[in-house]
Amino acid sequence: VDESMLRRGESTANAVWGNAPSVLVGDFLLGKAFQMLALDGSIDVLRVLSDTSAIITEGEVKQLMQVSDVTTTRETYLDIIESKTAALFVAACEVGAMVADRNEQERAALRDFGRYLGVAFQIVDDALDYAASQESLGKTVGDDFREKKVTLPLILAYEQGNAEDREFWRRVIKHDQTDTDLHHAIALMGKGNILKQTFEVAQSYAQRGAECLDVFADGQEKQALIELLEFSVNRPY
């Protein structure tokens, strides 16, 4: 749906096969997933995951409605990424606690951990769209910019920019872009330390995620979750 040609270093299904097979096979995988869930037989897990699939797709629709709106607030942005990304992380973490029959305190802790992890992960993703080199990112750089998605780096740059910078952001997000605009956008991000600030926001979510794990005893499982947090905010791609 974002019309990207590359994902994780490979051509997207849409680029290789076109729209119809990509949409239909996507629907098939969604149906197949629910089939497997229903076969497994836990109605509680099924409820969590069907709620989640509705929340995620709703988040994608909300994001679409904010496209081209350069005045998108940080609160709206966070609401969108909690739905479209963090909800999946929350479900993955919560279902782990459910199938392992852990108590409600631990289940809530893992749910919170998943939310902070997911938000941190998505913020870094949005920063990398302006920061990463195309080779290491494995997807096209500047996709969000070209699609006029208003992500955290852009919100910070717009908030902190001077009159001329704001005029630039308004034009490229609300109206037309030229070939050199992405280059200028990246330069503005560097000049204002915007990406550094963005990574710091992600880091603060990762920190809160780590605190959620305090209810668990130390051990290799807890260590693995902490490493996952650290990777999410330090990854080069």
Contact code string over 61-100 relative to a second copy, x by CB under 8 A: x--x------------------------------------
Q: What is the Cα–Cα distance from 5 to 143, expressed in whole angstroms?
A: 10
Cβ distance 33 to 27 under 8 Å? no
The answer to whether residue 39 forms part of the interface with a second copy (CB under 8 A) is yes
Q: What is the Cα–Cα distance from 31 to 39, expressed in whole angstroms?
A: 12
Among positions 5, 16, 25, 187, the unique one binding a second copy when judged by CB under 8 A: 25
Q: How far is the CB of 23 from a second copy (least distance, A)?
A: 5
Q: Which is nearer to a second copy, 16 or 64 (CB)?
A: 64
Q: What is the Cα–Cα distance from 155 to 2, expressed in whole angstroms?
A: 20
CA 148, distance to chain mean position in Å, is 16
Of 42-50, 122-130, 156-164, 207-215: span binding a second copy (CB under 8 A):
42-50
The answer to whether residue 38 forms part of the interface with a second copy (CB under 8 A) is yes
Q: Retrieve residue 159's tokens.
A: 């908030």
Among positions 6, 15, 46, 98, the unique one binding a second copy when judged by CB under 8 A: 46
Q: What is the Cα–Cα distance from 182 to 148, expressed in whole angstroms?
A: 11
Q: Which is nearer to a second copy, 88 or 154 (CB)?
A: 88
Taking each helix axis from N to C terminus, what angle separates 43-66 and 74-81, rounded to the nearest 10 degrees?
A: 140
Helix (H) or strand (E) holding 10: strand 10-11
The answer to whether residue 53 forms part of the interface with a second copy (CB under 8 A) is yes
Binding residues for a second copy, rule CB under 8 A, total: 35
Q: Retrieve residue 28's tokens.
A: 């098939």
Give the CA-trace dihedral at 130, 135, 137, 143, to 10 degrees: 50
The answer to whether residue 28 forms part of the interface with a second copy (CB under 8 A) is yes
The answer to whether residue 58 forms part of the interface with a second copy (CB under 8 A) is yes
* Interface with a second copy (CB under 8 A): 1-3, 19-21, 23-28, 30-32, 34-35, 37-39, 41, 43, 46-47, 50-51, 53-58, 60-61, 64
